[in-house]
Amino acid sequence: MTRLSVNINKIATIRNARGCSLPDVLLIASDCEFYGAQGITVHPRPDERHIRRSDVYQLKQIVRSEFNIEGYPSRDFMDMVCAVKPTQVTLVPDPPEALTSNAGWDTIKYLGFLKEVIQEFKSHGIRTSIFTDTRKEIIEGAAKTGTDRIELYTEPFATGYPSNPFRAVEEFRKAAIIAHENDLGVNAGHDLSLHNLCFFHENVPYLDEVSIGHALISDALYFGLRQTIQMYLDRLK
């Protein structure tokens, strides 16, 4: 079964807009789990414009499903992750000022760097994942870093889905097979939604986990959090 991890960054964005404690990030995380989510994802950034470092430490105390922390492996980020010891750390190549993740790692160029980072995380018993695109050489490069999984950057699929879904998904299908052949688990995320998730799930094999935030939280404004999470889980059955 493909697991659903809910990215709660947008909840923190709303909270921070008023400088108060509403909505309650910890309560929302617990509710997401109660409503069926099998993981909670956060992506703390240096400017703390959504998830704060303090949130990360507090979430560790209450998350009972899989806790996934995304981010660029700066020294500060690595120290925080090693202290918190989440289920999984997902490495993204974003500079601090990036609005959102918009590309995967060049695992060939940064092979040595990623190997060192991953070795440190794994020494703390933390599962590792690398954000990548679908190119064969990039996925094979990821395998050489020692990572446990890759996370396929799915924005190109989401963009191409409305006009030609089979063409949009084909490279991701191939990428998942290549990852599996290289003993890598497969996660996916970015712009997956109620409209395209079922098709993606049906056509991409070996899919361990999807991480969804922006679309899911937006849908919850209309349907409510409980019903929205159930709708996304239904797409993964």
Q: How far apart are CA 62 and CA 29, in angstroms?
A: 8
User: φ and ψ at 45, to 5 degrees?
Assistant: -110, 160
User: Are the C-beta atoms of 55 and 49 separated by less than 8 Å?
Assistant: no
What are the boundaries of each domain within the chain? 3-235
Both structure tokens of 103: 């590309």
> Chunked in runs of 10, what are the mean pLDDT values of the chain (237 residues)?
97 93 96 98 93 97 98 96 98 72 85 98 98 97 98 97 98 98 98 98 98 97 98 97
Which residue is listed with tokens 């990215």?
A: 7
**And the tokens for 1?**
């079964």
- State the SS3 of the chain: CCEEEEECHHHHHHHHHHCCCCCCHHHHHHHHHHCCCCEEEECCCCCCCCCCHHHHHHHHHHCCCEEEEEECCCHHHHHHHHHHCCCEEEECCCCCCCCCCCCCCCCCCCHHHHHHHHHHHHHCCCEEEEEECCCHHHHHHHHHHCCCEEEEECHHHHHHCCCCHHHHHHHHHHHHHHHHHCCCEEEEECCCCCCCHHHHHHHCCCEEEEEECHHHHHHHHHHCHHHHHHHHHHHCC
Does the reported pTM lie above 0.85?
Answer: yes
Q: In this structure, are residues 105 and 133 in contact, taking their beta carbons and an 8 Å threshold?
A: no
Tell me how far apart the 2 most distant CA atoms of the chain are, in Å: 48
Q: 3.20.20.70, 3.40.50.720, 3.50.50.60, 3.60.15.10: which CATH number matches 3-235?
A: 3.20.20.70
Positions annotated as catalytic residues are: 43, 70, 190
pLDDT at position 20, please? 86
